[in-house]
Amino acid sequence: MTILDITLFLPLLGFLALLLVPKDRPDASRTMALAVSLLTFVSSLGLIGPYWFRSPQGFQFEQNLSWIAYPPIRYHVGLDGLSLWLVLLTTLLTPICVLVSWKYIEKRVKEYYAWLILLEFGLVGVFLALDMFLFYVFWEISLVPMYFLIGVWGHERRIYAAIKFFLYTFAGSVLMLGAIIYLYNRTGSFDYSGVVAMITSGRLALTWTEQILLFLAFFIAFAIKVPLFPLHTWLPDAHVEAPTAGSVMLASVMLKMGAYGLIRFCVPMFPAASRACSDWIIPLAITGIIYGALVAMVQPNMKKLVAYSSVSHLGFVVLGIFSFTQQGLDGAVYQMLNHGVSTGALFILVGYMYERRHTLEIAGYGGVATPAPWLSSVFLMTTLASIGLPMLNNFVGEYLVLQGAAIANFTWAVFAAIGVILSAVYMLWLYQRLFFGRASEEVSRHMWDLSGREWAAMLPLLVLMVWMGSYTQSFIPPISAQNARILDLSKAGVDFRVDTRTARSAEVARVR
């Protein structure tokens, strides 16, 4: 029993405990949810230690127990530099989401928090699982709570959005299940490290067709989740219709499941296929960056705007991953965290405004800065972080991705940079339309300033924006160490099965 198991199973216990809370005492449910999620966060803080900065080898806190004897499915969990911060992001955002929902959710409170806490269990599990079967189990578990969160507590078109969300993800993931079973039949193991070792050592020689098909089966599941253009269409619906906390968890953590899967599974397990397919993946990623930004620009609905901006931001992540450079990968992982912090914050702020004015239409606002100066300052800071102002978090991630892309292929970087410019356009324009100008009477009456609870939810994120933007050394070393290993794995595989046309892209790039 390590601190990792505690972090993982506390939410499950919390979920069961929440089911026992009487229905007619909503405050008890709220307090219980907050207590559980804070406790989980505190326990997850115990995962940070000096070893992450002393060039760690392999997985920390590994736990490997038998779950099902045959086929050999194991409860195998562990943490490395890639999953470390993603787990912490999840455990940090859950109590924030509980706080954000405190007043917003008034009906069926108990069920709401139960699903939210169960969602945390699934998400943490996804990042920790080192057995592919276990990974799939957590992957699917996280789907069900989110489906209910959107479908029951969402806005008008919530049912459509919830079903679309579920079906898209489910359709992608069944193919991944097929691929996992296929790998098992070839290797006799679901163990992630074991299978990767077999592939890199050449003991499991997959033919080119096999490799491509398996890669695609995994890739489509992850690309839907990321979402990569043109598989993104579920995202605007789900984000817009979800309740605030749902949008936050969806944007900040669930999208990262896809990117995490790409780095964890696709790249090291099918290196040659990854490189071959990057020829069309990167153009899609860049299209996503620009398309997302352009569509965001013309949205009249602010939640939809933030949703499309996510498509754009996640395009950077995919670009970074498939540039196969150290900088690109580091930037991609960092950008995953940054997006989690800043877009999470944006969704929270949009949620605050909706609670006051009960509309998501940008046109319904204007001049909010006068009645609610603190709200507008916080919003401004989040906006600046989101567009990548130096000293704030997104800048670092975007810079690294662009550098990585430039090393691999300068043209990519040029096109991707257009996305950075466009993001400034749509975000600043949004800010201008919401906060500047004269406040109508309606706006002044409804837009009161931030309450203590609302501050409490936002403050950690604001601190992180500055911290992650100005002192990256606290975060990057474990990520880099892990990425270097993944990059090595991805090369070892390529060298082993020489395929000249794929190895070209990024061999230049090992500048560390």
Partner 1 sequence: MLLDGVLTERSKRALAWFAMVGLSLAVVACVYAYQFPGTAFNNMIVVDGFATFFRVLVIAVGILTVLCSESYLRGERAGPGQYYALLLYSIVGQCIMASANELIMVFIGLEISSIASYILAGYLRDDRRNNESALKYFLLGSFATAFLLYGIAWIYGVTGFTNLTEIRRTLMTPETAPSISLIGVAAALMFVGFAFKVSAAPFQIWAPDVYQGAPAPVSAFMSAGPKAAAFAVFMRVFLTAFNPIANRWQPFVWGSAILTMVIGNFAALTQTNIKRLLAYSSIAHAGYVMVAIAADSEIGTAAAMFYLAAYALMQVGAFAVVTYFVRQGERYTSVEDLAGLGYKQPTVAAMLTIFLLSLIGVPLTGGFFGKFYIFKAALDSNLIWLTVIGLLNSAVAAYYYLRIIVVMYMHEPGEASATAPPVSPALSLAMWGAAVGTFVLGIFPSALLDFADRSANLVK
Instruction: List contacts with partner 1 (CB under 8 A).
Output: 68-71, 108, 136-137, 140-141, 143-144, 147-148, 151-152, 158-159, 162-163, 166-167, 170-171, 174-175, 177-178, 181-182, 184-185
Instruction: Compute the least distance from the CB of residue 266 to partner 1, in Å.
Output: 19
Q: Toward partner 1, which CB reaches closer, 114 or 317?
A: 114
Of 273 and 406, the one with the shorter C-beta distance to partner 1 is: 273
Query: Which H helix or E strand runs over 4?
Result: helix 3-20
CA-based torsion, 154, 159, 160, 164: positive or negative: positive
- Nearest to partner 1 of 14, 478 (CB atom): 14
Q: Return the number of the residue (30 or 158) whose C-beta is nearest partner 1.
A: 158
- Please answer whether residues 274 and 215 qualify as being in contact, where contact means their C-beta atoms are separated by less than 8 angstroms: yes
What's the number of CA atoms in the CB half-sphere (13 Å) around residue 167? 9
Where is 413: in which H helix or E strand? helix 410-435
Q: Which is nearer to partner 1, 63 or 342 (CB)?
A: 63
Q: What is the dihedral of CA 431, 436, 437, 440, to 10 degrees?
A: 90
Could you identify the residue written with the tokens 């953590």? 253
Cβ proximity to partner 1, 108 vs 433, nearer residue: 108
To the nearest whole angstrom, how small is the minimum distance from the Cβ of residue 168 to partner 1?
9
Least Cβ distance, residue 109 to partner 1 (angstroms): 13
The Cα 218–Cα 68 span in angstroms is 24
| Least separation in angstroms between CB 52 and partner 1 | 31
Which residue's CB is nearer to partner 1, number 117 or number 152?
A: 152
Beta bridge partners of residue 77, listed in sequence order: 63, 129
When the beta carbons of 168 and 322 are compared against partner 1, the nearer one is 168
Q: How far is the CB of 207 from partner 1 (least distance, A)?
A: 13
CA distance 368 to 422: 24
Between residues 195 and 450, which has the closer beta carbon with respect to partner 1? 195
Cβ pair 215, 73 in contact under 8 A: no
Residue 135 C-beta: closest distance to partner 1, Å: 10
Q: Report the distance separating Cα 506 and Cα 289, nearest Å.
A: 21
3-state helix, strand, coil in the chain (%, to 5): 75, 5, 20
DSSP sequence for 119-135: HHHHHHHHHHB-BHHHH
Smaller CB separation from partner 1, 177 or 456: 177
Residue among 407, 387, 412 at smallest CA distance from 397: 387
- H or E stretch at 77: strand 73-79
Q: 26, 73 in Cβ contact below 8 A?
A: no
Q: Are strands 73-79 and 60-68 parallel, antiparallel or unpaired?
A: antiparallel
Closest CA to 88 of 123, 120, 45, 54: 45
Cβ 190 to partner 1 shortest distance, Å: 11
Contact 301, 367 (CB under 8 A): no
Tokens 């609905």 sit at which residue?
301
Q: How far is the CB of 152 from partner 1 (least distance, A)?
A: 5
- In the complex, the smallest distance separating the C-beta of residue 238 from partner 1, rounded to whole angstroms, is 14
Helix (H) or strand (E) holding 379: helix 373-387
* Closest approach of partner 1 to the CB of residue 298, in Å: 31
